Structure formats: C-alpha cells, structure tokens
A = this chain, B = another copy of it.
Amino acid sequence: MVPMAKGKVGKTVGSLGDYLKEQRVSARLSLRQLADQAGVSNPYLSQIERGLRKPSAEVLQQIAKALRISAEQLYIRAGILSPDDGVGGSVELAIVSDTGLTERQKQSLLDVYASFLALNAADTDGSTEAAVAQVDAPTNTETDSDAVANEG
C-alpha cells in the first residue's frame, strides 16, 4: 500500500480527486451512482478520486455536469488551473447584473446568499444543514423567494 501523498508533487491530480470526492459525498452520491451519471465505470471514477488517473476532457465535463459544477471550477479548485484564468468572483455582482432575473428575485438571491455567509460566520456546520434542508426540499407549492429566504 503506497501512501499517495496529496501535497506531494504539487496539486496535480491528487487534490482534484480529493475535491471530486468531496463534491460527490457532499451531493450524497455513491461512487457507482456518480459514475453512472457521468457515463464512466465505477472503478475508473474511484481511481480518479484517488489520484491514480486523470480524467479526459469529456469525462471531466460529464462528471462536472453530474455534480452541477463547472469543469473549469473543478480544475481551479484542484489547483491545476489558476483562478484568474477568466473566472469572475463576485456572486453579488453576477446576480445584480443578470438580465434573466427580476429585481425581486435578485433581492431574494442576495438575501439567501447573505444568509448563507452569515450562517457560516456564526456556525459553520450544524445550522447549515438545517437551512439547506429547507431550500433543498421545496415540497410545498410555495417556491417563491419566501420559501428559501427565511432562516435568519
């Protein structure tokens, strides 16, 4: 059993797999489930996660799509790509400049975003799950901003 150190030769693939696994677990997906959604085999995804393999562009796109994240972001977070490559940072700026949202929706999104940040500042773990659970399972018919923007 060779200890494949993560911080070894730099943030090559090890951290990508690490970040990838973190994303997968965070999305409550099993290895096979994500592999199935991404259209790759389970052992291959396993090897990617453990830094033994580097995914091709298509596979990376599929994985990112299945995880609802950007492939570029995947690489940035993995340390392969530099963040200033062309990725903007400000969520608020992006929201207010979005042309597909109404002003009320923008305000709601900003509220939710601010509440998340405040939540993380106060308590970084337990309360977050509760707040997320409300947003994540909008079983009720009320999906307007009120349904998501109340927890602070």
Please determine whether B73 and A96 come into contact, CB atoms closer than 8 angstroms. yes
B100 with A80: CB separation less than 8 A: no
> Which one, B29, B36, B73, B128, contacts A97 given CB within 8 A?
B73
Give the distance to chain B from A87, nearest Cβ to Cβ, in Å. 4
Judged by a CB distance under 8 angstroms, whether A81 is at the interface is yes
A65 touches B39 (CB 8 A): no
A47 interface residue (CB < 8 Å to B): no
Within A96-121, the residues touching B (CB, 8 Å) are 96-98, 100-113, 115-117, 119-120
Q: Which of A24-47 contact B (CB under 8 A)?
A: 26-29, 33, 36-40
A88-B97, A96-B73 known; A151 and B133 CB under 8 Å? yes
CB atoms of A29 and B61 under 8 A apart: no
Contact A143 B29 (CB under 8 A): yes
